[in-house]
């Protein structure tokens, strides 16, 4: 096996075969979540640096828990406590972390490309836990695992993504991932958050500014978080968003009766999604959280468990 550092920086460069391998590897870790005793010793003695330069609760806890359940230690750096506030550069901060000899770095950062940038400067695997507006690969993987479990497969789905697409790394990673499996992807949201260039991101992507049309016949609906600060831009009054784009029961009824609802969280009830929809039978929100643990455990296992990295996963036949 080649001596190469495997990073997970983005979904875009991965093949469908690599993603499938990855999801398959997550299966045993899903089962572990149902055991009364969840802790393994697989990564005992290993340590994972959690470098979160942007506020995050869910993703950070998910990675920390995933590492703990594999027996690894974590060292955690959060924006509020970081030396960034003292003017230290990202590289210097990360090199300081690296000098504490972790086996990989999980990086969350508000700047697009930050994970790519850091991966060029460190000698250990980097896992992108969200970089700016660019990608959030583990979110797309856990979403795919959730969809695959519920639908039995990922091929040929009709997927609608709702909300502020242009500012969403979750949308980009999901678009890249699902498109590789032949999904027809409809993006829906206010026009200024829906630049036409999004249709060039991957095959099978179209835009639609009417939510009823966008939901028609959808197998999967992914509602994105609408960031309040975006609504404060000279853009759109909150009530306008709700009137035109809130996912309500009646609107969701236009999708297939068994359509799945995914949301990366945190949900702002009453803004992007009506409460009864968030809590309804189609909602996969809590499964997503559990699957996030499985996906991140599988990822840590693959990258630092000694069996090679994502780069060594089977490549596409083309």
Among 114, 140, 284, 303, binds another protein (CB under 8 A): 114
Distance CA 267, CA 269 (A): 6
By CB under 8 A, tell whether 69 contacts another protein: no
Catalytic residue among 108, 184, 225, 296: 108
By CB under 8 A, tell whether 203 contacts another protein: no
Question: Taking the CA of residue 293 as centre, how many other CA atoms within 13 Å lie in the half-sphere pointing to its CB?
Answer: 20
Span 147-176, contacts to another protein by CB under 8 A: 166, 169, 172
CB of 91 to another protein, least distance (A): 6
Q: How many CB atoms lie within 10 A of CB 230?
A: 18
The token pair that represents 158 in the structure block: 């009709």
Cβ atoms of 166 and 112 within 8 Å: the answer is no
By CB under 8 A, tell whether 89 contacts another protein: yes
Place of tokens 């994105």: 224
CB of 89 to another protein, least distance (A): 6
Catalytic residue among 34, 86, 120, 196: 86
Among 39, 55, 91, 269, binds another protein (CB under 8 A): 91
Transcribe 257-271 into DSSP letters. TT-EEE--S---BTT
CB of 140 to another protein, least distance (A): 14
The token pair that represents 65 in the structure block: 């828990």
Cβ closest to another protein, residue 170 vs residue 295: 170
The token pair that represents 40 in the structure block: 């393994």
By CB under 8 A, tell whether 66 contacts another protein: no
The token pair that represents 292 in the structure block: 């996030």
By CB under 8 A, tell whether 3 contacts another protein: no
Q: Name the 3-class secondary structure at 113.
A: coil
Instruction: Establish whether 44 is a catalytic residue.
Output: no
Place of tokens 């359509």: 259
- Catalytic positions, please? 58-59, 86, 108, 136
The residue ranges that bind another protein (CB under 8 A) are 12, 89-91, 109-114, 116-117, 131-135, 166, 169, 172, 195, 197-198, 200-201
């Amino acid at each position: 096996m080649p001596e190469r550092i495997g990073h997970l920086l983005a979904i875009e460069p991965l093949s469908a075969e690599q993603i499938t391998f990855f999801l398959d590897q997550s299966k045993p870790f899903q089962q572990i979540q149902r055991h009364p005793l969840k802790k393994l010793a697989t990564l005992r003695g290993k340590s994972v640096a959690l470098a979160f330069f942007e506020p995050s609760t869910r993703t950070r806890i998910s990675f920390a828990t995933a590492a703990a359940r594999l027996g690894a230690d974590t060292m955690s750096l959060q924006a509020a406590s970081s030396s960034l506030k003292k003017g230290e550069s990202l590289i210097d901060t990360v090199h300081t972390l690296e000098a504490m000899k972790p086996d990989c770095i999980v990086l969350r950062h508000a700047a697009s490309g930050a994970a790519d940038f850091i991966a060029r400067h460190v000698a250990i695997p980097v896992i992108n836990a969200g970089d700016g507006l660019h990608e959030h690969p583990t979110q797309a993987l856990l979403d795919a695992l959730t969809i695959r479990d519920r639908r039995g497969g990922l091929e040929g789905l009709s997927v609608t993504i709702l909300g502020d697409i242009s500012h969403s790394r979750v949308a980009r990673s999901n678009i890249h991932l699902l498109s590789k499996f032949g999904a027809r992807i409809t993006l829906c949201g206010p026009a200024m958050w829906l630049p036409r260039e999004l249709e060039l991101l991957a095959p099978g992507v179209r835009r639609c500014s009417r939510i009823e049309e966008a939901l028609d016949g959808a197998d999967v609906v992914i509602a994105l978080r609408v960031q309040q600060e975006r609504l404060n831009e000279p853009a759109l009054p909150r009530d306008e968003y709700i009137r035109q784009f809130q996912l309500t029961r009646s609107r969701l009824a236009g999708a297939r009766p068994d359509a799945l609802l995914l949301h990366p969280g945190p949900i702002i009830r009453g803004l992007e999604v009506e409460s009864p929809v968030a809590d309804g039978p189609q909602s996969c929100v809590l499964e997503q959280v559990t699957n996030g643990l499985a996906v991140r455990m599988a990822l840590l296992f693959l990258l630092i468990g000694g069996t090679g990295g994502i780069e060594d996963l089977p490549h596409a036949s083309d």
